[in-house]
Chains A and B, each alone.
Chain A
């Protein structure tokens, strides 16, 4: 269980996170929804322990072991001079993953045939897919995906959805996704978390059948901030 207790973060007189408390259970996919600047990425960074937050974020009562976390935060960043395969190997070396199946990981995101391409030769969509492959390379207990379908074409989005649902989500791990794509969120996640101005304003099971129903709830919760969401 991932326990976030009374987490707050202030930066230059602005409260980026306000007293956030969440209990996230293994085996579920959580969707984090909110307008730009609501605090989604800051919350992810706090889970990764790279912000000066107050409060506590623990895993089964202990500090989170970062080697158990896979993440794709903000944008997919890689060593541009290295190839796809070299980047994943380096990532595996840092995490000390002994049995790493790079071929399988790259095949899952349809990049194996480009394994010898340098990162500087890839499109944004390919980088995004590689970012997803890297995030789940260690089969971590926690998978944090910040806008994972940015730059993906409709087929790529569909493939990602199937990959997440059918292969990555297990009863042992916790996946948190932030996305601007309600259609994607409604189809993937088990639990919806709405965040606005650094505060969790709604935490509910995903019982919605389509994007329109979710959009209505989103509009109701976000009010004036909907415009920001559409940006």
Chain B
């Protein structure tokens, strides 16, 4: 598997889509950071994160959708799919190597976004903006990473299904945007914990404001976690089956 991962990384040389994804992932915090630095004299840390996180909850799933789509699309776009599946590796391993890489890049994007957010606060402090630390930076980051990791693993599994069924980046990108909107749509709903992206957002916000969480925290958390794990397993199995099933003639 390590060798397959290394090979996947080799394919990313000079790939412009990685820069695009970096901009897309960090756009919300760059925007939030600029607003902080230029927009006023005093800000509460929780409000800054709230502003950025609203954007992240929508943009990050789109970014991950395009990321996993692009990793599979490399084979379809270049016409290398036939070569790729005739090296003698099981298709399950090939599929998992791309999913693992998508997860790793997703986590890297998440870390970079957190660094930019933290850096903008430091810069704002330096230039005289008063940042009120009404929540601890640590709990804020814990919430943020739980949210993004849930988004990464679930979205990668869904995105893999879409790209391997459609073999089209246009369709994958459009569905990625719709997926981002749908996740955002369920955020405010009481039963939103059934939708992984919405649950992830509410969970992250719990760390900065417990009152913004669901009415029945214990039940919601348990159901939310079960839904995240179950949906990820189901989407992963479906995606693996779609990729691995033998076609009458591979093209």
Give chain A's interface residues, CB within 8 Å of chain B: 9-11, 16, 42, 45, 48-52, 65-67, 69, 71, 73-75, 77-82, 86, 89-91, 93-96, 118
Contact indicator B86/A69 (Cβ below 8 Å): yes
Contact indicator A9/B248 (Cβ below 8 Å): yes
* Chain B positions 60-99 with a Cβ under 8 Å from a chain A Cβ: 74, 77-80, 82-83, 85-89
Query: Chain B's nearest CB lies how many Å from the CB of A75?
Result: 7
Query: Chain B's nearest CB lies how many Å from the CB of A220?
Result: 30
A interface secondary structure, majority: mixed
Contact indicator A51/B248 (Cβ below 8 Å): yes
Query: Chain A's nearest CB lies how many Å from the CB of B121?
Result: 37
Contact indicator A79/B74 (Cβ below 8 Å): yes
Contact indicator B80/A79 (Cβ below 8 Å): yes
Give chain B's interface residues, CB within 8 Å of chain A: 3, 6-7, 10-11, 13-15, 74, 77-80, 82-83, 85-89, 246-250
Chain A hits for B83, CB < 8 A: 71, 77, 91
Chain B hits for A91, CB < 8 A: 83
21 interchain pairs, CB-CB under 8 A: A9-B249, A10-B248, A11-B248, A50-B82, A50-B86, A50-B246, A50-B249, A51-B248, A51-B250, A52-B246, A52-B247, A67-B88, A69-B86, A77-B83, A78-B78, A79-B11, A81-B11, A90-B10, A93-B3, A93-B6, A94-B87
Complex Cα–Cα for A67 and B11 (A) = 20
Chain A hits for B10, CB < 8 A: 82, 86, 89-90, 93
Complex Cα–Cα for A69 and B79 (A) = 19
Chain A hits for B80, CB < 8 A: 77-79
B interface secondary structure, majority: loop
Chain B hits for A48, CB < 8 A: 82, 86
Complex Cα–Cα for A50 and B15 (A) = 29
Complex Cα–Cα for A78 and B82 (A) = 11
Chain B hits for A49, CB < 8 A: 86
Given A75-B79, A93-B10, A65:B88 Cβ within 8 A: yes
Contact indicator B7/A90 (Cβ below 8 Å): yes
Given A16-B249, A66-B87, A90:B79 Cβ within 8 A: no
- Which residue on chain A has the smallest CB distance to residue B15? A81
- Which residue on chain A has the smallest CB distance to residue B10? A90
Other A-B pairs, 8, CB within 8 Å; known A52-B249, A66-B87: A9-B249, A16-B249, A50-B249, A77-B80, A80-B77, A89-B10, A93-B6, A93-B10
Chain A hits for B74, CB < 8 A: 79
Query: Chain A's nearest CB lies how many Å from the CB of B179?
Result: 27
Contact indicator A73/B247 (Cβ below 8 Å): no
Complex Cα–Cα for A10 and B7 (A) = 35
Contact indicator B6/A42 (Cβ below 8 Å): no
Contact indicator A96/B86 (Cβ below 8 Å): no
Query: Chain A's nearest CB lies how many Å from the CB of B31?
Result: 30
